[in-house]
Amino acid sequence: MDISTSPGPGLLEPDAAAFLAQPHRNLIGDRWQEALRGTTMEITDPATGALIGRLAASGSADVDLAVVAARHALEHGAWGRMPGSDRARLINRLAARIQDSGEQLAQLESLDTGRPIFECRLVDIPGSVAMLEYMAGWATKINGETMQLGTPGTLHAYSVREPVGVVAVIVPWNYPLELAVWRIAPALAAGCTVIIKPAEQTSLTALRLGELALEAGFPPGVINVVTGTGEEAGAALAAHADVDAISFTGSTEVGKLIVQAAAGNLKRVFLELGGKSPCIVLADADLDVTIPGVAGAIFFSSGQVCTAGSRLLVDERVFDRVVEGVASYAAALKIGHGLDPETRLGPLVSATQRDRVMAYLDAGRRDGARYVTGGQRHGETGYFVQPTVVTGTTSQMPIYREEVFGPVLCATPFKAGDVDAAVAAANDTVYGLHASIWTQNLKAAHQLAGRVKSGNVCINTHNFFDPAFPMGGYKQSGWGRAAGFPAIEHYTELKAIAARL
Ligand code: NAI
Ligand code: MG
């Protein structure tokens, strides 16, 4: 397929095309509303740069309406009085609606983000369904405890977990549906109401999610969706005095702004931010597993993954073989429009992101890094960047230090058997989100896992996610854990009650 002449929307099946063609407005309560001041923003196809639709560009007045709707649903609607079993039923119904609309959602996601449709089918839809089903299970199992205090028979003391309240969920553009779902699922299980603010580059599936939530029977105002820029709609949510908690996923830079904005009413903050995640390869690793494993860790979603394995640290005895293998893997990836089922590497999400990644590549070249493969834009149309493997970096180069968020891998050898050097390199970063260790030596693997400072460590795999596997960051990669019971705890207040008998 020639990406310069194939506009993406023509590749959609009818129900995805119909959704794209309909007006895109905010979901406030059970009403679909334009931005109050009438402003819109553009939806583009990252593979071609073509304009494919418009979204409401909301301001703080729209955010205010959504917060009122969410507050009302929490305090005065059926939701606040609903037993956990009924919340669970609604959450499971939403999971089923997503499953039924899976192909439509996958196509919309692929078109909007540029990511290969095969990824959206494989990861985004099943991952969203699985998280809702898992969290629906918790809705009936959120308990406090009794405390045995004082002289027996004189006190009755116990605790309960209550919903933290109105939760704002600010979502980035790499996994728009799945990240929205992963953040709202524990909040809904806990009994909160939510306002989703998708990224301005990729809002389509959040709006479809809003439709599906109404179809599933969620009371009005439990799930609201407001589209708009981060600077306006996002900032208004972060600063809002009647929002009780905020869940932010995105850049570390904006994460710090969220913390400052949240200080106004000391709302609770969940952050999942950037990473510079290492893949450590020991000399005894099974290279048939390791090479595709570490290559997939960086090239999946064109490296636009918070947990992307962007630093490859390899024992010098196998360094050349691993780098050659990863470079051949990269060179063989079929680059194309995300909606082409054969595509394995799509464009980056936006011209801005492509230019950001190219700036790192150009600086790396000036700094004397060596490009084993890639290093350039791919084609003239759209936001494509070649899959790139870089060697000869120093630990001071920005391409090695900073989150590039593109298909760019920095490969670095460490001295034969010098695990201390590998650990030091892995931990030489302000981030600590994800890491992987590749070896057949179980003892070495678990000992190393204990020394890497990051929220997740994988052994002989990378980018491992599961609704029951707490996920989150050390250091500047964030606060709190998504998934597992820690996510539920985050969306509850613990109240302790004592009665003198
Ligand atoms: P960003 O952090 O600006 O955007 C993420 C979300 O935050 C979007 O919904 C955006 O509208 C919102 N936002 C932006 N400014 C805001 C503000 N002042 N207040 C409230 N919300 C705000 O990310 P951006 O600029 O699109 O990408 C820049 C870099 O961020 C990437 O190169 C990558 O390194 C990193 N990033 C990391 C992600 C992750 O999953 N950890 C996801 C997206 C980006
Ligand atoms: Mg887009």
Give the whole-angstrom CA distance, residue 384 versus residue 48.
9
Among 63, 207, 254, residue to substitute to test ligand 1 (most atoms within 8 Å of Cβ): 254
Give the whole-angstrom CA distance, residue 30 versus residue 344.
38
Question: Which atom in ligand 1 lies closest to the alpha carbon of residue 237?
Answer: 20
Contacts of 14 (CB under 8 A, 6+ apart): none
Q: Which residues of 364-373 are buried (b: 16+ CB within 10 A; e: fewer)?
A: beeeebebbb
Give the whole-angstrom CA distance, residue 410 versus residue 393.
7
| Mean pLDDT computed over every residue of the chain | 97
Residue 439 identity: T
485: confidence class by pLDDT, cuts 50, 70, 90: very high
Element (H, E) at 42: strand 40-44
Q: Is 455 in the pocket of ligand 1 (CB under 6 A)?
A: no
Q: Is the pLDDT of residue 259 over 90?
A: yes
Q: Is the pTM of this model over 0.95?
A: yes
Q: Is the pLDDT of residue 59 over 50?
A: yes
Ligand 2 mean position, distance from CA 62 (Å): 22
Taking a C-beta distance cutoff of 8 angstroms, is the pair 234, 228 a contact? yes
Instruction: Identify the CA nearest to 182 among candidates 239, 226, 262, 123.
Output: 123
Ligand nearest to the CA of 259: 1
Ligand nearest to the CA of 51: 2
Ligand 2 mean position, distance from CA 200 (Å): 8
Q: 479 — alpha (psi -120 to 50), left (phi > 0) or beta?
A: beta
Taking a C-beta distance cutoff of 8 angstroms, is the pair 69, 220 a contact? yes
Q: Is 231 in the pocket of ligand 1 (CB under 6 A)?
A: yes
Phi and psi at 259, nearest 5°, equal: -60, -40
User: DSSP class of residue 11?
Assistant: G
Check if 306 is active-site: yes
Question: Which atom in ligand 1 lies closest to the alpha carbon of residue 235?
Answer: 19
Among 113, 123, 170, 433, residue to substitute to test ligand 1 (most atoms within 8 Å of Cβ): 170
Quote the pLDDT of residue 2: 41
Taking a C-beta distance cutoff of 8 angstroms, is the pair 371, 392 a contact? no
3-class secondary-structure state, position 203? coil
Q: How would you classify the pairing of strands 309-315 and 277-281? A: parallel
Quote the pLDDT of residue 26: 98
Rounded to an integer, the average pLDDT of 190-201 is 98
5: confidence class by pLDDT, cuts 50, 70, 90: very low
Give the whole-angstrom CA distance, residue 185 versus residue 202.
20
Q: Is 222 in the pocket of ligand 1 (CB under 6 A)?
A: no
SS (H, E, C) 97-135: HHHHCHHHHHHHHHHHHCCCHHHHHHHHHHHHHHHHHHH
Ligand 2 mean position, distance from CA 112 (Å): 4
* Residue whose pair of structure tokens reads 């050898």 in the numeric block: 413
Give the whole-angstrom CA distance, residue 413 versus residue 493.
47
Residues 95-136 pLDDT 10s: 999 999 999 999 999 999 999 999 999 999 999 999 999 999
Rounded to an integer, the average pLDDT of 172-176 is 98
Class of residue 116 by CB neighbours under 10 A (exposed 0-12, middle 13-18, buried 19+):
buried
End-to-end Cα distance, the chain: 77
Q: Over pLDDT 90: what percentage of the chain?
A: 98
Residues 287-339 pLDDT 10s: 999 999 999 999 999 999 999 999 999 999 999 999 999 999 999 999 999 99
Strand partners, 194: 167, 223
Q: How many helices (H) and strands (E) does the chain have?
A: 17, 20
Structure tokens at 111: 């078109």
Q: Is 249 in the pocket of ligand 1 (CB under 6 A)?
A: yes
Residues 369-391 pLDDT 10s: 999 999 999 999 999 999 999 99
Q: Which residue is catalytic, options 120, 192, 279, 306?
A: 306
Structure tokens at 57: 């560009």
Taking a C-beta distance cutoff of 8 angstroms, is the pair 68, 193 a contact? no
Give the whole-angstrom CA distance, residue 150 versus residue 495.
19
Ligand 2 mean position, distance from CA 53 (Å): 9
Nearest CA to ligand 1 atom 24: 251
Check if 272 is active-site: yes
Q: Is 405 in the pocket of ligand 1 (CB under 6 A)?
A: yes
Tell me the residues surrounding ligand 2 (ion) with CB < 5 Å: 112, 201-202
Q: Which residues of 77-90 are buried (b: 16+ CB within 10 A; e: fewer)?
A: bebeebebeebbbb
Give the whole-angstrom CA distance, residue 234 versus residue 226.
9
SS (H, E, C) 242-307: CCCEEEEECCHHHHHHHHHHHCCCCCEEEEECCCCEEEEECCCCCHHHHHHHHHHHHHHHHHCCCC
Residue 13: CB atoms within 10 Å:
11
Residue 454: CB atoms within 10 Å:
25
Instruction: Identify the CA nearest to 434 among candidates 388, 465, 399.
Output: 465
Q: Is 478 in the pocket of ligand 1 (CB under 6 A)?
A: no
Q: Is 274 in the pocket of ligand 1 (CB under 6 A)?
A: yes
SS (H, E, C) 372-384: EECCCECCCCCCC
Give the whole-angstrom CA distance, residue 243 versus residue 257.
16
Rounded to an integer, the average pLDDT of 65-87 is 97
Ligand 1 mean position, distance from CA 1 (Å): 31
Phi and psi at 434, nearest 5°, equal: -155, 155
Q: Is 170 in the pocket of ligand 1 (CB under 6 A)?
A: yes
Q: Is 209 in the pocket of ligand 1 (CB under 6 A)?
A: no
92: confidence class by pLDDT, cuts 50, 70, 90: very high
Q: Which value, in Å, is the radius of gyration of the alpha carbons in the chain?
A: 23
Quote the pLDDT of residue 444: 97
Give the whole-angstrom CA distance, residue 25 versus residue 183.
21
Quote the pLDDT of residue 8: 79
Q: Is the pLDDT of residue 349 over 60?
A: yes
Quote the pLDDT of residue 7: 66
